[in-house]
Amino acid sequence: MKYLLPLICCLFVFPLSAQQPERISIGLKQAIELGLKNRYDIQSGKYNMAIADNRLSKSKKEWLPDISGSGRMAYNPQIQATYIPAGFFGPSPELVALGANSSAIFGLDLNQNLFKPGIVTDVKIARNHLEQEKEINHQQENNIKEQIVLAYLNVVLKKLQVQVTMADEQRYKEYEEVAEGKVQLKALIENDYLKAKLDYENSKVETQKAKQNYELALGNVRYQLNIPAETQLILTDTLNAPELAVSADLTKPDPNNRTEIKQLTLQQQGIGLELSKTRQNALPSLAFFANYSEQFSYSNLDYALGKWWTPFNYLGIRLNVPLTANFKNSNSIQEYRLKSMQTDLDLKQKTADVTYEIQKASSELKNAVQNMKVTGDNYNLSKVIYENQKQQYAIGSFLYSNLLDTDKSLLTTEQSYIKSVYDYLIATINYQKAIGTY
């Protein structure tokens, strides 16, 4: 019995310790890397590139010679009679059974394309398709990065809001304590004390709401990173961290860096290749062919009799000249021409859209920098005013209602400054996305 209690403790303690949730401390850069590694949609998109690369390899192999082997074995128990005209075996025509009951042919065939422009174009089309898939994958990665960054920054903002509400709660607690002391000294009416107490209770509710919003934002980050919901996640970067303030070059952005422009350009090239291939279908093709065979003919199935095996072979050039291909391909040619004109218009419109996005993102980034500086100065000034009036309230030379007005001004400037820093980071991300460097 003396060993039973330690054994029971082991059974309960070790499983509990083994089931402790994972704890991860992560910065923004590491979060992006982890998300791109864990996301199933990113992994799925890479298969599209692998498939496109396989098609490219397959199209290149069309130039390899086509070598095939064939075999045929047959036994005819009754040979069909053949009509023989008069004069061969006698004065009158006859039916004579000619041939062997057993026959077999084994051979090798070789076909090698010498001139077929469509194969070259197929390789170019496959390579173009691979480049398109790379750009699509690049765009998908950028979208995932943006979602991760926005989710990460939202958590950082919510965490700062929790700190702000906790500071507010602490201030209202101090107000309530000062008011309580004044009531006891008969220096404050009880109603003002009750108001201070109510403000303190309300501040605790706001703190609780801020914590709930923070946990919800953390859950979104876990979802974006595709990690278990029970993972303890700690984000190490803050709004003022230099890792978040990614530099943005406001000089000479090139719209062609955007993956949407690259995709449309590749699509236009692909349509041109399809048009070329359609026209090449009307061109002649030239191929080399060869055959080597062994034939067996005898009255039975005795294939070991070597003298009844006879070889034969041949080789040649095959020329194929399409005669009606141009007529049949006319509609396909017209279709690709229309698609080319349509894509050209899409490309022009997308270029105009991207140019406007760059201009807008550039203006928003400049405004965000200016707003962040102004709100920062206002926040520092409001803190000085608040500290002065707080001291006056403590010594009884300042009304509680007036102090609350100053407190609200401080809270407003504080929230404005936090939002301006957040807006600056978002504007930086939007600008980099607009110029195609994100």
First to last CA, the chain: 67
Token code pair at residue 406: 């100053």
pLDDT per position as a tens digit, 25-46: 889 899 999 999 999 999 999 9
- CA 347 from chain centre, in angstroms, equals 22
3-class SS of residue 110:
strand
Q: Whole-angstrom Cα distance, residue 359 to residue 253?
A: 10
Q: Which of 195, 225, 275, 198 is nearest to 30 (CA)?
A: 225
Has residue 185 got a pLDDT over 80? no
126 Cβ neighbours under 8 A, 6+ residues apart: 52, 55, 56, 58, 59
Token code pair at residue 39: 């996301």
Q: Which of 139, 350, 278 is nearest to 131 (CA)?
A: 139
- CA 17 from chain centre, in angstroms, equals 37
Q: Which of 94, 129, 101, 55 is nearest to 300 (CA)?
A: 101
- What is the residue whose two structure tokens read 């065939």? 109
Has residue 417 got a pLDDT over 90? no
Q: Whole-angstrom Cα distance, residue 159 to residue 48?
A: 39
Instruction: Give residue 196's pLDDT band: very low, low, confident or very high (50, 70, 90).
Output: confident
What per-residue string of b and e applies to 339-368 under the rule 16 or more CB within 10 Å gives b? beeebeeebeebbeebeebbeebbebbeeb
Q: Whole-angstrom Cα distance, residue 155 to residue 163?
A: 12
Has residue 247 got a pLDDT over 60? no
278 Cβ neighbours under 8 A, 6+ residues apart: 329, 332, 333, 336
pLDDT per position as a tens digit, 67-87: 999 999 988 887 777 878 877
pLDDT per position as a tens digit, 95-153: 877 778 888 999 999 999 999 888 999 999 999 999 999 999 999 999 999 999 999 99
Has residue 229 got a pLDDT over 50? yes
Query: What residues are paired with 73 via a beta bridge?
Result: 104
What mean pLDDT comes out for the span 332-357? Answer: 94
Query: What residues are paired with 203 via a beta bridge?
Result: none
- What is the residue whose two structure tokens read 């095939």? 68
Please check whether residue 311 is in contact with residue 292, taking contact to mean a CB–CB distance below 8 angstroms: yes
Question: For residue 8, what pLDDT is reported?
Answer: 39
Question: For residue 251, what pLDDT is reported?
Answer: 58
Question: For residue 419, what pLDDT is reported?
Answer: 85
Q: Which of 77-86, 284-293, 342-351 has the lowest mean pLDDT?
A: 77-86
Q: Whole-angstrom Cα distance, residue 387 to residue 69?
A: 96
Query: What residues are paired with 193 via a beta bridge?
Result: none
- CA 398 from chain centre, in angstroms, equals 60
